[in-house]
Each structure stands twice: as structure tokens, then as C-alpha cells.
Structure 1
Amino acid sequence: MEDPHRGLHSEHGALAGEHPGRAANPVIKVHDVAWLEFEKPDLVRAEAFARAFGFTPTLSTEHELHLRGTDPGAPCVLIRRGARSRFLGPAFRAAARSDVLRLAESAGRPVAKLPEPVGGVVADLADPNGLRVRVVSDTHELPALPPQEPHTFNFGHETRRTNATQRPPRTPARVRRLGHVVLQTTKYRQTLDWYLGHLGLIVSDFLFHPGRRDRGPVMSFVRCDRGSSPADHHTLALTLGPANRYVHSAYQVADLDALAAGGEYLREHGYHHSWGIGRHVQGSQLFDYWRDPDGFMVEHYSDGDLFDNTLEPGWAPMTASGLAQWGPPATADFLGVKPGKEALRELRAVFSALREDNEFDAQRFLGLLKVARS
């Protein structure tokens, strides 16, 4: 039987003339993703899910909700009350205040102070899709909280645990930190080059439609350039599609037991499971996907890859089966083709995108259908 994962990933970088995966002279090099910002109409409902998912609120008022993990630093999700649910954009943490000043000057944007609950300074930019992208520094540093410790495992003949049992509690997984955000764009190449050129991000992996590598990539997993210090395989992922939108965000937990037991807790409390548990190909993360009450997809993950700046991008075909090394098949909900309001919105976006001047043309649409069926 043919191995469905054969040839899914190449460690050999670009062919002649292909995208190199990094900008030659970026304006700055951000250090990490800082937080994500949302608007939601029901903050009570949002907080209930957040606690079940494993966040700790640091600010909870009638108008605003801040959520953190156990790692030290700023809150990793900021939610304001609004008339409708929407994603406002990501914030990235600069390595120094001088980088915020340099970026603001380069873009012709002002530097402003952030509100006191967060502190620090910010430069607000807009990516090619009009999404607000914030770059911040000198934010208040919240102290670490007691983390959920990984379990001690006996592997093969390596005995590390004796006279002790494994009894992981069925409680919320404790989120440690924000890992990455995935965005869909109708202007994939332009958007990718913008993030590489302005924020100094570098590509870990490119995906292309099966049999169409000659047309270039349609998705990229992008990491921070910290030189010889390892960074997450991706802090940002960009994918070509018929609408500019948030796809999902991912939050690190301690280990597989935390991810699985935390998922059982969410299931018992009536929350919507999207896909998992499995292990990804690009990034290698153990994953489990959920939807919050507003329909936003969020991921628990553990054991992801870390790369320094010496690795060249991998190249692989984009297929539904290639999203995981093991685990259940990708669901229609995860792929965005489950019948319902979201699929209808995406279908309407397809017809709109095909009438506009962007990278999502008829051939890309057919390639996307092939991916969903693979």
C-alpha cells in the first residue's frame, strides 16, 4: 500500500527562481507574537469558555476582558465588547523600543502609549489586507503563574517513574502562552512579503497546490528570526483563500495528557470540538482544535518544532491528508466546508473574489477544491 505521507515534506529549500523565504533587508525583526485582539458581544460567555479552555483572566469588566497564560509577560488575548464578533488583529513584540520607533518612522506612523492595564508603546500598521498589525514594546511584565507540569513517562526500558501512578485530572488544560495565529488572505504573496519585509519574519515551510509548484506557494508557516536562538516553527501562518479572515490561533499546553484531559473537560461542558487529537506534519505539534461560542477556532498544542535562522524553508504539496502524521481525518468543520453559515459565507466570498483583481483566481479555486478532497 502506498504511503500517503511520502513526499509530503522536503527539507531542501527553494528551487531556482522560487521565493527564498526571507527578506534581504527587513525594517526590524520582531521577537515574538504578543497578543491577539477581538471584539465580542457577550464577555460573560467569552470568559466562561476562556476559563474552560485554560486561560486566566487578568482584567474582567463589563467592557473588556484580558486573558493570560502561566508564562510571564503580557496577556495573550484582549477582548473588547462590541456589537458583533470580529478579529481586530495581532500584536507582535519588538526586541527593543528602538525597533518600534524605527518601524513607525519607516511606515510614517506615530508611536503611541498603550492603556495602563497593558502599558508600553505601540506602532500601528496595516497589512495589505487592511488588517491592523501592532508592534509593541515595554509592556507590563506579569509574573509567572504556577504551570501545569508535564508528566513523568516510562519509555521502553527507560524507567523514570516507579511506585507512582499516572492519574491526569480531567480539568482545564492550563494555557502556557500564545503560540501562533493563522490568517487567510486573497493577496497571499503580497501579504507574505509585507510581513517578511516589515517584521523580519522568515519562512519555515511553504505549501503549494498538488502538481502546481510551478505557480508558487499558497501557504507559508513563518517564524521569528532570533538568530542562533531557536524560535517556534511558526508564529504566523498565511494561506491563500477567497476572503481575508482569521483562521485559528494556537496556545501551548504542558503535554499530551493536558491536551487530552483538557479536551475531555471542554467536551463535557458542551463546547464544540473541531478536529483532533493528532500530530501535524509542518511544525510537528500535537494538536486539538475547538471552536469558542462565537465560532472562532482555537487550538491546544504541545511539542512543537523549534528552528534557528539557519534552516531553509521546506516545500510540500498542500493536501487534507498531509495536515497530520497521525490522527483522525481533517473534518469538514476544520476545512471550512461543513454545511452552515460559515461555509455559505466562504462560498459567497469565492464568487466575490473571482470577480476581483487578486491572487485567488479560477485555477486557485480548483486547486483548493482538490486540497479539500485529498
Structure 2
Amino acid sequence: MSEPRTTAAGLKTAHQDLHSEQGALRGEHPGRSRNPVIKAADLAWLEFEKPDLDRAEVFARDFGFSVAARTPDSLWLRGTYPGTACVVIRRGHTSRFIGPAFRAADDADLDRLSRATGAPARERTEFGGGRVVDLLDPSGFPVRVVHGTEQLPALPDQQPLTLNFGAHRTRTNAAQRPPREPARIRRLGHVVLETRVFGRALDWYLDTLGLIVSDFLFLDGRRDQGPTMAFIRCDQGSVPVDHHTLAMHLGPGTGYVHSAYQVTDLDALAAGGDYLAERGYRRSWGIGRHIQGSQLFDYWRDPDRLMLEHFADGDLFSCDLEPGWAPMSASGLAQWGPPVTRDFLGLNPSPAKVREVVRALRADNELDPARLLGLMKAMNA
């Protein structure tokens, strides 16, 4: 395996079997902002609305969350790692994603963000407290940036199994019996969003929150038109972080695609999947291993058809790795696993999807008929 090459800017290209087969060409998007307003430290939580909080709590516990707090109109879910709750579900008329909340590195970042955007920094009065700046991204998603929220203590975790590898044998006179139980969630990993204004939204997250791109995907034969998907991570300098905290792709819709939550290992992921299947929940796609991010994955639908992912063993990148570039295709989503499903790709036809496409092609955005056909071809490749 070759050592990664270093560019004049000091970024490791790592396109020799380490990360991606291709790097950027001259003049392509650099994947980071020269002077971002702040550098968000992490994804804090995701906010949803659902009409039935009791049903939402049953699924949450089956999926592996613990309940951090419950009121008549809100449900706060957490993982085993110390920190904030990672999901908040508010009572609403329909089941929908509201938006993400990012954690600022320090309190001064909130003031800096407030001055740059004109959005006030205010005290939070609900569970967890702290301060918050409420923003709106170019796609229309409310984005919260928080600091000083209550840090919850760690909970008991599922322990990884002791494994024998060939001549390296550490487990003797002991059988392997992973329990059939929920795959206990450790933490929130990432959220994936669809947008009609991909380029504007990408630059907003890079310029405003200091996120940086790990991998770009482009339409095969249309690379000169720029990327149509980005896997984006937080910038914590030399501290390695998840390959992506946020992923976005161009499409006819504007909305939530899925969110991902880390579990202990493959056995926890698989046994937790069997547990969900026994209780009548529907797998969308899995089990497999991704290419971008490398994580083991298993995708499920909740009772309201929102998609959630169990993942384990994902890539960790520091700030000095430059973006990879690869063509977008359905076959390029996994190294191994079952064929990607139409449900996961969102290809099941419906009158609502047809209306969505028509509205997108009539509106002022980055989607045109040629790009739409290119996306359809990629998702069937």
C-alpha cells in the first residue's frame, strides 16, 4: 500500500488504495472554506415531529435508544456514550424531519455566528439548557448550533465479542452466544439530506459551520458539471472524526433521507437486526459494508417509514485528508452485501414522487432534465 502524497496545501491525497481512486482535478471544488465563520465540533442531535409519541418510544427502545427525558409533547432519546441526547421527537400532526443541531466548540462561536448571520444567540429553556443560534440553510432546513447543553453521563454499553482470528486465538473453552436483544445505540453518527440546491447548500455548510468534504460523487460523464453528492465531516484539526457527519445529494426533493447511529460491532448489528425483524419492523437494506465511509450498515424503516441506520466500524479522518472523487452509482454504494434495494434508493414510484419531480423541473434550482436523467441512470447502474 502506497503512502499518501501531500499537496502544496499540505493535504494528504491518499488516493492510492487508502481512500479514493481519484482526487480533485484542477479548478474543481476544494471541499472546504478558506475562512469559515466557525468550525462546528460535531452533530449534537436531530429533531423530528411525530403524531404518536408512545409508538415512537416503542420503536426507539426496540432500535436500541434509551429515553433521556419524556414530557407530554416531547421525547428525548440518547445513546450509551456521555453527552447530549441525540434525537428529540416533538408531537406534531405528521411524521417528519425538522432539522439538525450542531455543537459549537465554545460559547464564543455562538456570538461569532450571531454577528455574521444576524440570528440572535439565546438561552435554551427546554431539556438540556445551554445557548443556541437558530439558522436556516439554503434548502430550508432549520439548523441549530448549540453550546453549554447538559452532558449526560455514560450508560452501560454492549461489550464487543472476543473473536478468534486464524492463529490469533484469544477465546478458548467458551462458546460464542451474542444475546438476541436491541443493538444498543452508542451515539448519533450522521444524517443524509436530499436537496434541489446542492451547490448552494454545500457551500453554506462549509462557509458557515466549517465542515469539510471527505468524498464527492459526480454523474458519470458529467464530472465537468460538478459533484451531485458530498460526504462531509466536521473539522477538529488533527483529531480524527467520522468520515461524514452530514451527507447531501442533489435530487427532485428536499428532505430527510436517513440518519445513522453507531452500535458496538457486527454481532450487535446483526443480532439487533434479528430482534427488529422478530417484532415486525421492515429492513430497507443490509447487512453490508459501504465504500465511502467503509462502515458496516443495516437500514430499517420505523413505523412512519422514516429510515434509520445501525452502523459500526466507520472510517475516521483528520483534517489533512483531501476529498476523494468517484462516479455516482447504485453499485458503488457497497463493497459487499445484498443488492441495493429500490426502497433504499427511493425508486418506488408514487403519484407524490411524480408531482415532486414536476415541481422540481419547473422551479428555479440546480436540477434540469439532463441532470435528472443522469441521476436516474446512476441509481440504476
Instruction: Give the residue type in structure 1 aligned to 2:368.
Output: D
Structure 2 counterpart of 1:73: 83
Structure 1 counterpart of 2:27: 17
1:181 and 1:235 in contact (8 A); partners too: yes
1:11 and 1:313 in contact (8 A); partners too: no
Structure 2 counterpart of 1:209: 219
Write the deviation string for residues 300-329 of structure 1: whole angstroms up to 9, x where unpaired. 000000000110000001110110000001
How much has 1:359 moved relative to structure 2? 0.6
1:41 and 1:83 in contact (8 A); partners too: yes
Secondary structure of 1:15's match? coil
Residues 344 and 324 (structure 1), Cα distance of their counterparts in 2 relative to 1, 3 Å cut: farther
Structure 2 counterpart of 1:292: 302
Secondary structure of 2:357's match? helix
Structure 2 counterpart of 1:332: 342
Structure 1 counterpart of 2:176: 166
Aligned counterparts of 1:266 and 1:143: Cα–Cα separation in 2: 27
Instruction: Give the residue type in structure 1 aligned to 2:245.
Output: T
1:11 and 1:312 in contact (8 A); partners too: no
Aligned counterparts of 1:328 and 1:36: Cα–Cα separation in 2: 29
How much has 1:12 moved relative to structure 2? 4.4
Structure 2 counterpart of 1:103: 113
Structure 2 counterpart of 1:39: 49
How much has 1:104 moved relative to structure 2? 1.2
2:233 and 2:246 in contact (8 A); partners too: yes
Structure 2 counterpart of 1:261: 271
How much has 1:100 moved relative to structure 2? 1.0
Aligned counterparts of 2:309 and 2:341: Cα–Cα separation in 1: 14
Aligned counterparts of 1:161 and 1:347: Cα–Cα separation in 2: 55
Select 2:148's aligned residue among 117, 138, 147. 138
Greater alpha carbon shift after TM alignment, 286-295 vs 343-352: 343-352
User: Are 1:222 and 2:232 an aligned pair?
Assistant: yes
Secondary structure of 2:288's match? strand
User: Are 1:64 and 2:74 an aligned pair?
Assistant: yes
User: Are 1:314 and 2:321 an aligned pair?
Assistant: no
Structure 2 counterpart of 1:250: 260
Structure 2 counterpart of 1:3: none
Greater alpha carbon shift after TM alignment, 112-121 vs 318-327: 112-121
How much has 1:13 moved relative to structure 2? 2.5
Write the deviation string for residues 196-231 of structure 1: whole angstroms up to 9, x where unpaired. 000000000000111211111000000010100001
Structure 1 counterpart of 2:13: none
How much has 1:130 moved relative to structure 2? 1.6
Structure 2 counterpart of 1:156: 166
Instruction: Give the residue type in structure 1 aligned to 2:92.
Output: G
2:21 and 2:326 in contact (8 A); partners too: no
Structure 2 counterpart of 1:368: 375
Aligned counterparts of 2:253 and 2:372: Cα–Cα separation in 1: 12
Structure 2 counterpart of 1:352: 359
Instruction: Give the residue type in structure 2 aligned to 1:365.
Output: L
2:196 and 2:253 in contact (8 A); partners too: yes
Instruction: Give the residue type in structure 2 aligned to 1:348.
Output: R
Instruction: Give the residue type in structure 1 aligned to 2:269.
Output: L
Write the deviation string for residues 24-72 of structure 1: whole angstroms up to 9, x where unpaired. 0000000000000011000010000000000001112321100000000
Secondary structure of 1:349's match? helix
TM-score using structure 1 length:
0.96
Aligned counterparts of 1:100 and 1:345: Cα–Cα separation in 2: 39
1:12 and 1:312 in contact (8 A); partners too: no
Structure 2 counterpart of 1:177: 187
1:129 and 1:185 in contact (8 A); partners too: yes
How much has 1:243 moved relative to structure 2? 1.2
Secondary structure of 1:222's match? strand
Secondary structure of 2:166's match? coil
Aligned counterparts of 1:253 and 1:68: Cα–Cα separation in 2: 13
Listed as ranges, the matches of 1:180-195 within 5 Å are 180-195=190-205
How much has 1:11 moved relative to structure 2? 4.8
Structure 2 counterpart of 1:123: 133
Structure 1 counterpart of 2:12: none
How much has 1:105 moved relative to structure 2? 1.2
Instruction: Give the residue type in structure 2 aligned to 1:125.
Output: L
Instruction: Give the residue type in structure 2 aligned to 1:222.
Output: I
Aligned counterparts of 1:113 and 1:332: Cα–Cα separation in 2: 44
How much has 1:133 moved relative to structure 2? 0.3
2:22 and 2:326 in contact (8 A); partners too: no
Secondary structure of 1:315's match? strand
Aligned residues: 365
Q: Please, what is the CA RMSD of the aligned residues?
A: 1.3
